[in-house]
């Protein structure tokens, strides 16, 4: 299997190891496999008896053909081990007889980004060997919270890789800050920035674009690499859990083999739901993909009308990981639906005017697979309350946006299929808002909210989020944004 850019019309084809090492294509496009491989009913049946790591290796072997099956099996076995996912990698839970939650938050940072960021560093490490790279890859991340911690946990102590994370010192939650400041590992660094997330992000972007910096790093035997969600190495692991969930639904008798399901995904960057779409294109029996948004409903409008328009008010919501107006991975869908020439044009329009409109035929093709709903803050909180009071199921704010969308879809269409709902974070990761949704109370501080939520619901605080305030603060420092380049060089020299 070879890879190409979503924007390129010539046939520059590369191996998956190169795609994972490069992240972004030189023309600004995203890497896509040349074709979407297929999975048959018989293959799904053969996966029923397999462990999560074995299922992962099987799917990887279709996409990452320059990796051996032993390599991907050994990496998956380590990434999805009991040590890292004590309750299993991606267990399913029947919420109400119609909607099944796919819990993607049993990893080290309690959010779904662990599913990709536990395996991708291992794939990158092998990519360095496969491409003859002798230098150290330096992963630079600017984070508003969740991604930074998940990346730190994924890349810690991986050979030939170092990771440095910048975050706004007063722009993340107390839990997020403590999670990062207490990070363990010998190849990690975390630095706060006096400024907001944009300051951190533009600082990182400047460093990536700085030729003198590249030279200086090269002299130290290092080069820059990125861990963000447009990297193919983050996307391919996300296909696995949809296949795995389908197997588990069959094995537990929720559906029969071959029966079609709908899949609902709370969406920001369009990465997670696009992975579900690839699973559908491969042949997994999925009928509709339900795209769920919060008030930043740019994707709801796009899927319903064919116009993507990010010229709109940005809302800060209780599902912050979906507060996004530029859904980068949507480019991959455009590529599959409209081809690379049109994709390049739409992306050019987006950069120039902040919007574009797909053709009627393209919209029809999108609507054949996708439908879209969004939830207001009130609807999100009501979903949390309803799921807990009626079904005893505790969900976080992002999952609740999805649950609202799934319920609205079932009500509106009368669809009788099972809906698989991607549950993207532990309720404890957003305890403050979940507590507010359940009790109407907001006065508690964040760490207090964890205890209060546990007391109210009789559920347990996940180990990675408990006793955070008792851990050693390894990285309490913060710097001015102008000091970022020097701080990067100092870290590489260490
Ligand atoms: C990142 C994130 C999302 C959005 O995922 P995308 O792949 O960007 O659509 C949803 N929920 C949580 C908890 C997240 O961290």
For atom 2 of ligand 1, the residue with the nearest CA is 321
| pLDDT range class, residue 72, cuts 50, 70, 90 | very high
What pLDDT does residue 211 have? 93
Q: Does the CB atom of residue 5 touch ligand 1 within 6 A?
A: no
Q: What are 356's two structure tokens?
A: 């574009």
Q: Name 278's Cβ contacts closer than 8 Å, sequence gap at least 6.
A: 36, 235, 239
Active-site residue, from 4, 21, 113, 177: 113
Asked whether residue 468 carries a pLDDT value surpassing 80, the answer given is: yes
DSSP string over 429-480: GGHHHHHHHHHS---S-HHHHHHHHHHHHT-PPPGGGTTGGGS--S---EE-
Across the chain, what does the average pLDDT equal? Answer: 95
Residue 273 CA, closest ligand 1 atom number = 9
Candidate from 120, 154, 321 with most ligand 1 atoms within 8 A of CB, to mutate: 321
Q: Does the CB atom of residue 149 touch ligand 1 within 6 A?
A: no
Q: Does the CB atom of residue 234 touch ligand 1 within 6 A?
A: no
Asked whether residue 222 carries a pLDDT value surpassing 90, the answer given is: yes
Q: Which residues pair with 478 in a beta bridge?
A: 192
For atom 14 of ligand 1, the residue with the nearest CA is 321
pLDDT tens by residue, 444-459: 788 899 999 999 999 9
Q: Does the CB atom of residue 327 touch ligand 1 within 6 A?
A: no
pLDDT tens by residue, 372-413: 999 999 999 999 999 999 999 999 999 999 999 999 999 999
Asked whether residue 30 carries a pLDDT value surpassing 90, the answer given is: yes
| pLDDT range class, residue 202, cuts 50, 70, 90 | confident
| pLDDT range class, residue 198, cuts 50, 70, 90 | confident
Q: Does the CB atom of residue 402 touch ligand 1 within 6 A?
A: no
**Does the annotation count 481 as an active-site position?**
no
Candidate from 398, 423, 427 with most ligand 1 atoms within 8 A of CB, to mutate: 398
Question: What CATH number matches the domain at 92-112+233-464, 3.40.605.10, 3.40.50.150, 3.40.50.1100, 3.40.630.30?
Answer: 3.40.50.1100
Q: pTM (2 decimals)?
A: 0.95
Q: Which of 154, 187, 160, 190 is nearest to 172 (CA)?
A: 190
Least confident of 224-228, 402-406, 469-473: 224-228
Residue 398 CA, closest ligand 1 atom number = 11
Residue 399 CA, closest ligand 1 atom number = 11
What pLDDT does residue 226 have? 85
Asked whether residue 443 carries a pLDDT value surpassing 70, the answer given is: no
Q: What percent of the chain has pLDDT over 90?
A: 87
Q: How far is the CA of 216 from the centre of ligand 1 (A)?
A: 35
CA 131 from centroid of its chain's CA atoms: 26
Q: So where are the chain's domains?
A: 92-112+233-464
Three-class SS of 342-389: HHHHHHHHHHHHCEEECCHHHHHHHHHHEEEEECCHHHHHHHHHHHHH
Q: Read off the pLDDT of each residue in 339-347 and give the average, rounded to a whole number.
A: 97
């Amino acid at each position: 299997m070879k890879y190409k850019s979503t924007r390129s019309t010539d046939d520059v084809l590369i191996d998956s190891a190169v795609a994972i090492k490069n992240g972004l294509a030189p023309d600004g496009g995203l890497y896509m496999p040349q074709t979407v491989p297929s999975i048959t009913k018989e293959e799904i049946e053969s996966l029923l008896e397999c462990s999560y790591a074995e299922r992962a290796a099987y799917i990887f072997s279709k996409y990452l053909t320059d990796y051996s099956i032993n390599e991907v099996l050994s990496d998956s076995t380590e990434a999805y081990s009991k040590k890292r996912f004590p309750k299993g990698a991606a267990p399913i839970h029947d919420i109400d007889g119609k909607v099944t939650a796919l819990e993607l938050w049993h990893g080290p940072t309690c959010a779904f980004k662990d599913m990709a960021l536990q395996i991708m560093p291992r794939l990158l490490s092998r990519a360095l060997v496969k491409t003859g790279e002798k230098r150290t890859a330096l992963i630079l991340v600017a984070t508003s919270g969740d991604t930074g911690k998940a990346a730190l946990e994924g890349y810690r102590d991986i050979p030939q890789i170092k990771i440095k994370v910048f975050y706004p010192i007063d722009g993340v939650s107390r839990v997020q800050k403590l999670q990062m400041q207490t990070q363990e590992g010998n190849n990690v660094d975390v630095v706060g920035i006096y400024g907001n997330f944009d300051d951190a992000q533009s600082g990182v972007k400047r460093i990536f674009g700085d030729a003198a910096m590249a030279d200086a790093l090269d002299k130290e035997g290092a080069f820059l690499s990125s861990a963000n969600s447009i990297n193919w190495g983050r996307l391919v692991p996300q296909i696995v859990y949809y296949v795995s969930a389908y197997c588990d639904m069959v094995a537990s008798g929720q559906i029969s083999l071959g029966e079609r399901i709908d899949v609902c995904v709370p969406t920001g960057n369009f990465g997670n739901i696009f992975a579900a779409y690839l699973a559908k294109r491969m042949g997994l029996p999925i009928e509709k993909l339900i795209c769920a948004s919060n008030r930043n409903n740019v994707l709801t409008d796009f899927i319903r009308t064919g116009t993507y328009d990010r010229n709109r008010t940005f809302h800060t919501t209780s599902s912050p990981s979906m507060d996004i107006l530029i859904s980068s991975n949507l480019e991959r869908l455009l590529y599959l639906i409209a081809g690379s020439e049109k994709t390049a044009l739409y992306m050019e329009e987006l950069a120039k005017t902040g919007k574009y409109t797909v053709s009627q035929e393209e919209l029809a093709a999108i609507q054949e697979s996708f439908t879209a709903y969004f939830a207001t803050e009130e609807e999100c909180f009501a979903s949390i309350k309803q799921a807990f009071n009626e079904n005893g199921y505790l969900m976080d704010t992002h999952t609740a946006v999805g649950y609202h969308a799934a319920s609205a879809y079932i009500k509106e269409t009368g669809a009788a299929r099972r809906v698989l709902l991607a549950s993207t974070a532990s309720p404890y990761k957003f305890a403050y808002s979940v507590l507010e949704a359940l009790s109407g109370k907001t006065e508690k501080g964040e760490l207090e909210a964890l205890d209060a939520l546990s007391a109210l619901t009789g559920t347990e605080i996940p180990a990675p989020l408990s006793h955070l305030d008792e851990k050693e603060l390894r990285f309490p420092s913060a710097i001015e944004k102008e000091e970022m380049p020097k701080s990067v060089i100092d870290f590489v020299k260490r």
